[in-house]
Amino acid sequence: MTFVIADRYALGANIGSGGMSEVFAATDTLIGREVAVKMLRSDLAKDSNFRERFRREAQNSGQLSHPSIVAIFDTGEVDRDGISVPFIVMELVQGRNLRDIVAEDGVFSPTEAATVMIPVCEALQASHEAGIIHRDVKPANIMITNTGGVKVMDFGIARALNDSTSAMTQTSAVIGTAQYLSPEQARGKPADARSDIYAAGCVMYELVTGKPPFEGESPFAVAYQHVQDDPTPPSDFIADLTPTAALNIDAVILTAMAKHPADRYQSAREMASDLGRLSRNAISHAAKAHVEKPEEVAAEPAAPTRVATRTSTAIAAGAAAAGSQADTPNGVPQESRSQARARQREKSKRKARILTALALILGLGAIGIAAAFTYDYTSNTAAPTTRTIPNVQGLPQQEAQTELEAAGFVVNIVQEASADVATGLVIRTSPNVGSDIRIGATVTLTVSTGRQMVQVPDVSGMSLEAAAQAIEAAGLTLNQNVSEEYSAVVYAGNVISQTPTPGQEVAIGAAVSLTVSSGVENVRVPLTTGMKWEQAQQNLISLGFVPEVTEVDSSLPAGEVISVSNEGTELPKGSTISVQISNGMIITAPDLARMNTQEALAALRAAGWTAPDQSLIVGEPIPTAALVDQNTIGFQSPTPKTEFRKDASVTIRLYQFNLTALVPSP
């Protein structure tokens, strides 16, 4: 028996389960759409914390609309064995998550991993712009669909950036998966958008190496490493990398995984931009920053005193190892044995102190991971000195450069045409104005060269790769947030539309947004047999079908749907559906025997007969010797209880008294 909830969603097979919920394939019987229904486990539905987390997932996901975020359609509660169980109706995604893909198919190449992580970062950017941080980015929560799309799932522990009062966040308990936990989360500090960027770096690390950056016997051991240890450069685990390729992959991943948030990418969009360069085998901005300033690494003392320094050194070490270089990278001198021994002794002391704190917390049990790191790593490692980037947008280049250098930053100048900003004025900074970054870090000033206009090329019908090349060749940039739409006329992967339109004049460097076809959308033909035609027609049209109706003779009420072609099967959107509806013209003939003509007319009218009275045709009389049967009906056509059209003629024959009927035939 099919279990239907909310009088609408027919549950099918269980397609997944987790620590707190079960997911069922289902059908939205109202519109015929295949969906997934996620239900909180009945044994957890009584717990207010679990209900709050489940409610949060529905609320957070429902606020987001992005092609790489699983869509939420509906929410509600259903009674199961006397317990009110909340549920979420969401987009049904067919595919495999990254955890299973790596386990079953092996690691991704750096360019493949970058291609996968670009839409992940774009989804996180959309979430962050909506004021929501995910807090549990991991391979199991990222799915590759059967059509090659990327979907970020499970906003169950996400929270608003300005939410400091939720019952789920007041306890300082660490929420998330230990292997992808940012240092600030592990230490019980507030998480922000850059915490998701750290987790995205951990995910990409696992995609290219086949294992997470840190492993341990317990979540506590793993969380300790996130706070205190540097990951092995991912290039150490990737065969056949050139030194440049090794530097490139290490720079992107280890920048995302910097210990201090100020040293990471400052937005998911910034990380997506570097991933785009990595996917094209172009040098990432993170790698350029490392190569262009080798003196920063060389100037650091042997003992690690700053998170950013440790990250830079790890990047350099990975590149050197991949290139089989005997010397330390960028001319960093080998430390003496005495220095190494002293540094190792200090590291052992620090480790012992932190492990002692961990052991104490494990004994206490209920306090959580966060308390294990109340021993702040600032007690053994000097805290990074950071400063806020001042607002220099709109200032002349020299004035902006002077102000930034006075604040302790290194300034890099790039030029860009602009239709809105006058020549010589600052368009923007990278990182953004207001960002807290370490003193001595590089701030890139983008300065306007004025209005230099080019025509937008026509890329409609091109593949995405060809369109990107044409846009770049025209001096424009491709908006990395590429939209997808179903199309019955444009092949999957090709461009449907673009903004700005072809031939329009725009400033050099302007972004071009593309909408790409995801192919023809297949839609299940809804079950409409037995419905009134008006309702069936509305359902079919709303799903994109073209109904073609034919009226047929039937005893069913006029306008009722008798049959629908391909009902219950999937067809391309826009397909023509043949529908047969009843014209209500068939009635059942009443028994007119022994009635006179007027009585017969009354009986026929009562049965629904609509033909004029003259359509009751009186045929040749039937001789009878029974005077009592005189002028009553002895024959009718159609015969009693047979079906005929209500507007058809009826033939009757009346008995006529005749004495000859008493005479037997010779």
Binding site membership for ATP: which residues? 38
Could you tell me which residues are beta bridge partners of residue 69?
A: 152
Q: For 102-118, b where at least 16 C-beta lie within 10 A, e where not — what string?
A: beeeebbebbebbbbbb
Which phi-psi region, left, alpha or beta, contains residue 468 (left: φ > 0; alpha: ψ -120 to 50)? alpha
Q: Which of 28, 136, 230, 250 is catalytic?
A: 136
Q: Is 14 exposed, middle or buried (0-12, 13-18, 19+ CB in 10 A)?
A: exposed
Closest CA to 56 of 171, 123, 154, 175: 154
Instruction: Give catalytic status of residue 136 as yes or no.
Output: yes
Q: To which residue do tokens 């300065």 refer?
A: 447
Q: To which residue do tokens 């990595």 refer?
A: 278
Helix H segments across 193-242? 193-209, 219-228
Q: To which residue do tokens 């990975």 refer?
A: 318
Q: For 481-499, b where at least 16 C-beta lie within 10 A, e where not — what string?
A: bbebebbeebeeebbbbbe
Residue 384 phi, psi (nearest 5): -65, 140
H or E segment and range at residue 48: helix 48-63
Please state, in angstroms and rounded to a whole number, the distance separating the CA atoms of residues 465 and 463. 5
The answer to whether 649 touches 588, Cβ cutoff 8 Å, is no
Please state, in angstroms and rounded to a whole number, the distance separating the CA atoms of residues 63 and 340. 52
Q: Which residues are catalytic?
A: 136
